[in-house]
A and B are shown apart, each in its own frame.
Chain A
Amino acid sequence: MAETQTLILYGSLFTSLFFEVFLFITYLEVREELKFEEKHIGKDIKQFPTATIIVPCFNEEHTVGKTIKSILTLDYPRNKLSVILVNDGSTDRTMRELNKFKNHPQIKILSKKNGGKHTALNLALEKVESELVGCLDADSFVNSDALKRIVPFFDDSNIMAVIPSIKVFEPRSVLQYIQKIEYSWGIFLRRMLSSLGALYVAPGPFSIFRTQVFRELGGYREGHHTEDLEIAMRMQKHHYKIVNSHGAHVYTTAPKRFPALYKQRVRWTYGFLNNAIDYREMFFNKKYGHIGIFILPIATSSIFSTLYIISNTLWNGLSKVFDALVKFQTIGFNWKSSFSFDWFFIDTGVVPFLTLSAILMTLVILYLSIKLADGRFRFTRGIFYYLILYIFLAPLWLSKAVFSTIFRRQISWR
């Protein structure tokens, strides 16, 4: 039993380390490309394609106005950009907020009974006539140059969708600061996956597609509450190229409190696992390139290995705390043994060395991620919170999503 546990731990550590090394090598390969994109993308667009941005709304009265304004202030020719607002049966004052824009020449408003985000998007897609179409969640806001930094990628006729970099909008709570760092890591990861042709999500905030994608592959599907994952997986299955423009920045309102964050992350992980099951024929299939051979298998296994490594680390930590408590209960506080140091008693086993290597590699990637996301690295309180608390938070939603997938329990959107 102990040997099996050690083998699983070694296997998990090897896979994690291998993935980090693989990402790092990819970064070294593309760093010149990144510099070029940062300097030149969006600077010299000769022809602007027509584009429609769909904003599906369900009870977003507090943020939707700002979302719409951010689209209207996009640095993009007005006659080439239109907006479709869809009220998906909101029960708050969202419709009243939408109606404030009803006379705007670029805006069209639709309203329907609540049926879920994918139904709202599909209703709007029926009215789209532009070359490009995208969605912007009603709790997100775009940088004014975001679309200009996305559009040039469509000069390559093989590219069917471009996804942006998503950042956390004005973090205030500890959890939001943690998410800010997590999103920076996401920016790095997506850019690397983009180079590998292995993006498996086209996020709700401002992913832009060629309209023909929906004409050819059909509209959005429910996709286990993650329609953005499903559409990306479907596109990958049909060899439709998705890339990332890391300079196109979109800001999203991150959950402030734990229950909302927990529900969101359970939904994302559950959605990934279930879409991975639906598209399982892509796994280890050379036909799909990196995404089939490596990225989907590693992304799936990393959920389990993360759970295993974290629970193992927490278990060891708790055992040590428990032992210290037993010792304290038995003999009280012992100054002599508490402050005496002997290197002999430092754990110098293989696992601590491997864990240390994985942590160091994580820190390197975290540094590169923050540099890529913010243009420079600064040690902020977000990093501190992230390093201290994330290890305790992630297992909660990962385990719930795995449990719900295995036992076929339904999860809720909100």
Chain B
Amino acid sequence: MIDSKKYFIAFAITAVIFGTAIFVSNIIGQKKLDDVRVIENRVALDILSSETQFALLEETSCKDIAPGFLSKELGSLGEKLSYAENQTELNTTDLEYLKRSYFLLEIKDYLLMKRLTEKCGIRPTFILYFYSTKDACEDCEKMGYVLTALRDKYPDLRVYSFDYHFDLGAIKTLISIYKVKPDLPAMIINTQTYYGFYSVEDLEKTVPALKVKTTSVLKTN
């Protein structure tokens, strides 16, 4: 005689383990997205603060701008979102929303950085980087490593990375302003567009501003 009760008990225990795994994974996934949201809110506040300071520049000079003028968290935020993209358990709608907010924050930060360089006459220390998540792009992955390494090496360097195919009007506008072709990865440094993979050394050679910026980013005039 088959003891069917045992099968039911074993099935129930296995189902409970499965259910717990799914539940815990979802809870942690949600917590991760909440963390990203908190960082985004902080970055938004940083940008608002910077914009307010910048508005005050009308009444003051560039030397009054503190070294931590721009938000320091954009880089780590980007890394977290990039990792989250490959996590299937995360809520995709939430993730899309957070990515949208992140790209907009990047653009706002970029505009602020641009105004700052014009106003205070400092050399540009930012890179606009376009990658693709739509097609297999091995060079994009490698370029990502290089830019992260560069940011570690030059803490004042600002890398604004954008998913070329992301459905966001502001990204499309950036692409059309700089006439970026879909030959990814692509970078814009000092209004010059670079396509393909560049190593850390290549970039340092190509963009002398990088080396100069190791000393100080906010050298006031």
Residues of A within 8 A of B (CB): 6, 14, 17-18, 21-22, 25-26, 29, 286, 289-290, 293-294, 323, 326-327, 330-331, 334, 336-337, 344-345, 347-350, 353-354, 357
Residues of B within 8 Å of A326, CB to CB, are 138, 141-142, 145
Residues of B within 8 Å of A289, CB to CB, are 1-2
Provide a sorted-by-A list of 11 A–B residue pairs whose CB atoms are within 8 angstroms: A21-B10, A22-B10, A289-B2, A326-B142, A330-B142, A334-B152, A347-B87, A348-B28, A350-B22, A354-B18, A354-B21
* Contact call A348/B2, Cβ cutoff below 8 A: no
- Quote the shortest CB–CB distance from A330 to chain B (angstroms): 5
Residues of A within 8 Å of B1, CB to CB, are 289
* Contact call B25/A348, Cβ cutoff below 8 A: yes
CA distance A353 to B18 in the complex (A): 9
- Please judge, given known A-B contacts A21-B13, A344-B35, whether A350 and B21 are in contact too, CB under 8 Å: yes
Which of A6, A14, A29, A331: most chain B Cβ within 10 A? Answer: A331
* Contact call A330/B17, Cβ cutoff below 8 A: no
- Quote the shortest CB–CB distance from A125 to chain B (angstroms): 33
Residues of B within 8 Å of A344, CB to CB, are 32, 35, 80, 83
Q: Per-residue CB proximity of B124-161 to A under 8 Å, as 1/0?
A: 00000000000000100110011011001000000000
CA distance A349 to B26 in the complex (A): 8
Closest to B31 in A: A348
Residues of B within 8 Å of A336, CB to CB, are 152
Closest to B5 in A: A25
B55 at the interface (CB under 8 A from A): no
Q: Is the interface of A mostly helix, strand, loop or mixed?
A: helix
Residues of A within 8 Å of B141, CB to CB, are 323, 326
Residues of B within 8 Å of A348, CB to CB, are 24-25, 28-29, 32, 87, 89
Residues of B within 8 A of A (CB): 1-2, 6-7, 9-11, 13-14, 17-18, 20-22, 24-25, 28-29, 32, 35, 80, 83, 87-89, 138, 141-142, 145-146, 148-149, 152, 199-200
- Please judge, given known A-B contacts A337-B152, A344-B83, A349-B87, whether A327 and B25 are in contact too, CB under 8 Å: no
Residues of A within 8 Å of B18, CB to CB, are 14, 17, 354
- Please judge, given known A-B contacts A21-B10, A25-B9, A337-B152, whether A331 and B87 are in contact too, CB under 8 Å: no
Of B11, B28, B87, B148, which contacts A337 at CB under 8 A? B148
* Contact call B87/A286, Cβ cutoff below 8 A: no
* Contact call A21/B89, Cβ cutoff below 8 A: no
Residues of A within 8 Å of B11, CB to CB, are 18
Residues of A within 8 Å of B149, CB to CB, are 331, 334
CA distance A18 to B114 in the complex (A): 60
Residues of B within 8 Å of A17, CB to CB, are 14, 17-18
Which of A6, A26, A350, A357: most chain B Cβ within 10 A? Answer: A350
Residues of A within 8 Å of B145, CB to CB, are 326-327, 330-331
- Please judge, given known A-B contacts A18-B10, A331-B149, whether A290 and B2 are in contact too, CB under 8 Å: yes
- Quote the shortest CB–CB distance from B81 to chain A (angstroms): 10
CA distance A21 to B15 in the complex (A): 11
Which of B2, B9, B200: most chain A Cβ within 10 A? Answer: B2
Residues of B within 8 Å of A25, CB to CB, are 6, 9-10, 13
CA distance A47 to B149 in the complex (A): 81
Closest to B26 in A: A350
CA distance A29 to B3 in the complex (A): 12
Residues of B within 8 Å of A293, CB to CB, are 2
* Contact call A26/B6, Cβ cutoff below 8 A: yes
* Contact call B199/A22, Cβ cutoff below 8 A: no
Residues of A within 8 Å of B2, CB to CB, are 286, 289-290, 293
Residues of A within 8 Å of B22, CB to CB, are 350
Which of A286, A323, A357: most chain B Cβ within 10 A? Answer: A357
CA distance A172 to B152 in the complex (A): 51
- Quote the shortest CB–CB distance from A391 to chain B (angstroms): 21
Residues of A within 8 Å of B88, CB to CB, are 6, 349
Residues of B within 8 Å of A14, CB to CB, are 14, 18
Residues of A within 8 Å of B146, CB to CB, are 330-331
* Contact call A350/B25, Cβ cutoff below 8 A: yes
- Quote the shortest CB–CB distance from A14 to chain B (angstroms): 6
- Quote the shortest CB–CB distance from B23 to chain A (angstroms): 9
Closest to A294 in B: B7
* Contact call B13/A353, Cβ cutoff below 8 A: no
CA distance A318 to B108 in the complex (A): 40
- Quote the shortest CB–CB distance from B150 to chain A (angstroms): 9
18 other contacts beyond A286-B2, A347-B87, with CB at 8 A cut-off?
A6-B88, A21-B17, A25-B6, A26-B6, A326-B141, A327-B145, A331-B148, A331-B200, A334-B149, A337-B152, A344-B80, A348-B89, A349-B89, A350-B21, A353-B24, A353-B25, A354-B17, A357-B17
Which of B9, B17, B148, B200: most chain A Cβ within 10 A? Answer: B17
Residues of B within 8 Å of A18, CB to CB, are 10-11, 14
Residues of A within 8 Å of B148, CB to CB, are 331, 337
